Structure 1
Amino acid sequence: MTMKTIGDIATGRLAQDQLACEFADVAPLLDATAAAAAASRCFYCYDAPCIQACPTQIDIPGFIRKIGNGNLKGAAVDILSANPLGGMCARVCPTEILCEGSCVRNHPGDKPVAIGALQRHATDRAMARGEPLFSRAPDTGRRVAVVGAGPAGLACAYRLALAGHRAVIFDARDKPGGLNEYGIAAYKTVEDYAQREIEWLHSIGGIEIRTGMALGRDVTLDELRTQYDAVFLGFGLAGVRELGLDGETLGGVMNAVDFIEQVRQADDLASVPVGRRVVVIGGGNTAVDACVQSRKLGATNVTMAYRRGVENMSATWAEREFAQTNGVGIVTHAKPVRLIGVDGQVTGVEFERDAERFVIEADIVLKAIGQTLVPVGVARELLTLDGGRIVTDENRQTTLPKVWAGGDCATHEGLDLTVQAVQDGKLAAASIDASFALTAIKAA
């Protein structure tokens, strides 16, 4: 393949067969024998700590017992009744700090039960077979507007549809899925899985998805509150934090989330340009995904630079080890000072550590220092914000009547994870459903 070079940034660094290998499923599906062996290791604990560690409270010992007994449909029902995006979560959840991290077998000399792999084994089979697992309640005539087709919005809409309500999802993007579609490394969700999962969710009925519809541009919150019985806001964090440094506008400097999206949406991975030397600034999972994808595209030297120590990184130990296994160098206690360039193109980043300065050369610099709320279409005087998030109560209800919120855009317990967003959507749907029931009682 001919390589098109722009300085030290190039497309087609690797041949198609190499790219196919690099971006193959990072955690292939278990076969029946391996799944049975993995399930046999579970102690089926009473008051299992793995359940408590799961934000969606899946009955983990229950579904694993069913897998061991060959009842994969029953296992899928257990999982998806608690987490309607259980297939995606099986792929992207940091199980090492959640269910598997709490497994009673997780101690020196042993290893935790492969809960994530078993969860995927059951959910993938159920989706592949296409057999119905759940059915909608009779239509109630209630309509709910859901803003954002990410994990929180999808979970909320699905649970509302199950209860017999109708959910209309509005999303600014061309495709639904939010973070699952645009913001997760391509090697974690292969074969267009995010869209296949949405098709499964949509098959329950009672859900309409309207893409290309942005809050504040195509529809207003006041309009939604007037036209619908309730509104759920789950539009995530669309803004990206800036470094605020000299040289940030140089060519070759971009946001890591944009780079990840570029890779995820590419029809041909060989068309994605990548530097020979890449520096990613940040210490979270987004930084890891950007680093590893750079390596898999053919970058020679990839460095993840973080201003604090490893213990402060939001990326889990498993993600860090995965990055290093894939040839990523990690530099800690490195505070970025300025970005250096020649003829408008970035050539390196100057860092400071203990009053000493050093430069790491780079053709591309990816910024992964966090995302922020873009409150377009959200009335600050009506909807309370705190620390850049929409304030909600424990049921994900906001301070504005008829409006709930969840996912990364809202305040909630726990980390900003797909599984937490799903739980937020579930809680909001239950609260909305309860509010409809209360209204009906008052009207009677």
Structure 2
Amino acid sequence: MSQARLSPGIRAGRLTQAEIAANFADVAPPLDRHEAQVAADRCYFCHDAPCITACPTAIDIPLFIRQIATGTPDAAAMTIFHANILGGMCARVCPTENLCEGACVRMEAEGDPVRIGALQRFATDGLMAQQGHPFRRADPTGRRIAVVGAGPAGLSCAHRLAAKGHEVVIFEARAKPGGLNEYGIASYKTVDGFAQAEVEWLLGIGGITIRTGQALGGDLTLTALAAEYDAVFLGVGLGAVNRLRLEAEDAGNIRDAVDFIAELRQASDLLSLPIGRDVVVIGGGMTAVDAAVQARLLGAENVTIVYRRAREMMGASQHEQDHATRSGVRIIAGATPVAVIAADGRVETVEFAHTAVTDGRIQPTGTGFRLKADQVFKAIGQRLDMALDGLDIDAGGKIAVTGPGRTGIDGVWAGGDCAAGGDDLTVTAVAQGRDAAEDIDARLMGRPVEIPG
């Protein structure tokens, strides 16, 4: 982006180093042993546990909490990792209020669920801090599998396949593995380089090679991978961001929210990141909230999220919405952008129209408003950014799959955000990668597939 096209209101160093450090500290500090014991003692250990059903990876939650309660947190961690090898990250970023904790019996009875996410972090962090990897590979099978994408789905798939004795090569387009966990999640949720530490820990099982800077297209094609490897798993995510389709959308101070978050996550000095005084974020999902909150934490004075539907329809959970408003972010629902007013290649104002839903369709009401903006972040959804040789794409723009990630091409599987049926959550991507690995192994080894959970 040309610095000449940036608004004068966008600048670095709005806060002090001490303020930045405080703002980007761990948003949910870990439990100590006593706190974990107290939290675990609140669990009813339900036999027909709704929390398990609500977990996309079907972790046996009552079992691991009982193991913590009886003083065996390492056993609890193994219970978690057998179902979800990225259980450490999921403990930090899962919308537990919509999943396991939202289904907790105590939530229904008292409005205060067992702190399942915090207990999961307590157990997994403890085991990951120890020497060595807790899983051991089976005897080598001589089979080789290509995994495209080192995000949650690809890493989960690779680890499960490696554990079964297969050799796995992961092709990753970016400079670092981790995908969404490394580049797309708010920094205050995963402090101290946890995303990369988790990848290094996962690779400790052996049998997995990662080749970075390798994207599909050019010399690396799906056809070539399918010919060279015994199976291929696609976990390529969604690399392109939807457009507003408005004039002046390409002005210098309008950018994709995912790029802003990725830049922030990779910055060695947050004080060096320029941020506007008046920031507008368009969208209503987790990306919108993460971008808006971090803009405030960098020192933006006025940050507004604008979402086209009713607030209860936002993709971001109520917990995340509340966190945003506590951080000083204003949320305006029921409005859509209709014009970008720019001068000298820089946005100055965004015009919005109030909306109403008529026959299931969003329509402008004829009234509206304008917001001053020296910086605008777009968070209106993502899509595939590559052509994939011969794969069927569904009406939603994702790879069509059946069962545990089987695509229309024999020997090719897909999972995570790029595949149909997902809900753009790390935990769902982990489950899809894991289940595809089980199916790949069963196909290669000639036995019935057994999907965990």
Normalised TM-score (structure 1): 0.96
Structure 2 equivalent of residue 341 of structure 1: 342
Structure 2 equivalent of residue 253 of structure 1: 254
Structure 1 equivalent of residue 367 of structure 2: 356
Structure 2 equivalent of residue 401 of structure 1: 410
What code does the residue aligned with 1:134 have?
Answer: F
What code does the residue aligned with 2:403 have?
Answer: E
> 1:401 deviation in Å?
1.0
> 1:375 deviation in Å?
2.7
SS of 1:236's partner is coil
CA distance in 2, matches of 1:109, 1:85: 30
What code does the residue aligned with 2:88 have?
Answer: G
CA distance in 1, matches of 2:309, 2:267: 33
SS of 1:351's partner is strand
What code does the residue aligned with 2:291 have?
Answer: A
SS of 1:168's partner is strand
CA distance in 2, matches of 1:70, 1:17: 38
1:123 matches 2:129: no
Equivalent position to 1:367, from 372, 378, 383? 378
> 1:162 deviation in Å?
0.4
- Identity percentage of aligned residues: 57
What code does the residue aligned with 2:411 have?
Answer: K
Structure 1 equivalent of residue 400 of structure 2: 391
CA distance in 2, matches of 1:95, 1:85: 15
> 1:357 deviation in Å?
2.5
SS of 1:64's partner is helix
SS of 1:9's partner is coil
- CA 1:110–1:311 in structure 2 vs 1: closer, same or farther (change >3 Å)? closer
What code does the residue aligned with 2:10 have?
Answer: I
What code does the residue aligned with 1:406 have?
Answer: G
SS of 1:411's partner is coil
Deviation per CA, 1:82-122: give whole Å up to 9, x if none. Answer: 00000000011000000000000113644000000000000
CA distance in 2, matches of 1:161, 1:174: 23
Deviation per CA, 1:393-414: give whole Å up to 9, x if none. Answer: 11211110110000011112x5
> 1:21 deviation in Å?
0.6
Q: How does 1:260-275 map to 2 (within 5 A)?
A: 260-275=261-276
Give aligned pairs, total: 432
Structure 1 equivalent of residue 431 of structure 2: 423
- CA 1:251–1:108 in structure 2 vs 1: closer, same or farther (change >3 Å)? farther
What code does the residue aligned with 1:400 have?
Answer: I
Structure 2 equivalent of residue 207 of structure 1: 208
CA distance in 2, matches of 1:184, 1:240: 16
Structure 1 equivalent of residue 157 of structure 2: 156
Equivalent position to 2:442, from 399, 415, 434? 434
SS of 2:129's partner is helix
What code does the residue aligned with 1:268 have?
Answer: D
Q: Is the 8 A contact 2:96 2:117 kept in 1?
A: yes
What code does the residue aligned with 2:170 have?
Answer: I
> 1:35 deviation in Å?
0.5
CA distance in 2, matches of 1:6, 1:245: 19
Structure 1 equivalent of residue 57 of structure 2: 56
SS of 1:375's partner is coil
> 1:350 deviation in Å?
0.3
What code does the residue aligned with 1:427 have?
Answer: D
> 1:218 deviation in Å?
3.8
CA distance in 2, matches of 1:218, 1:232: 18
5+ residue gaps, structure 1: none
Deviation per CA, 1:213-271: give whole Å up to 9, x if none. Answer: 01113411111111100000000000100000112011210000001011101010011
SS of 1:124's partner is helix
Deviation per CA, 1:294-351: give whole Å up to 9, x if none. Answer: 0000000000001111111111100100000000001111110111112211111100
Q: Is the 8 A contact 2:337 2:351 kept in 1?
A: yes
CA-based RMSD: 1.3
CA distance in 2, matches of 1:32, 1:287: 35
Structure 1 range deviating more: 365-374 or 386-395: 386-395
> 1:427 deviation in Å?
0.7
5+ residue gaps, structure 2: 1-5, 355-364, 449-453
- CA 1:313–1:214 in structure 2 vs 1: closer, same or farther (change >3 Å)? same
Which of structure 1's runs of 4+ aligned residues deviate more than 3 A? none
CA distance in 2, matches of 1:218, 1:118: 45
CA distance in 1, matches of 2:231, 2:164: 14
What code does the residue aligned with 1:358 have?
Answer: F
Normalised TM-score (structure 2): 0.94
CA distance in 1, matches of 2:89, 2:120: 10
Structure 1 equivalent of residue 66 of structure 2: 65
What code does the residue aligned with 1:403 have?
Answer: V
CA distance in 2, matches of 1:6, 1:254: 13
Deviation per CA, 1:7-37: give whole Å up to 9, x if none. Answer: 1101011111110110001011101111100
Structure 1 range deviating more: 218-227 or 230-239: 218-227
What code does the residue aligned with 1:396 have?
Answer: G
Structure 1 equivalent of residue 89 of structure 2: 88
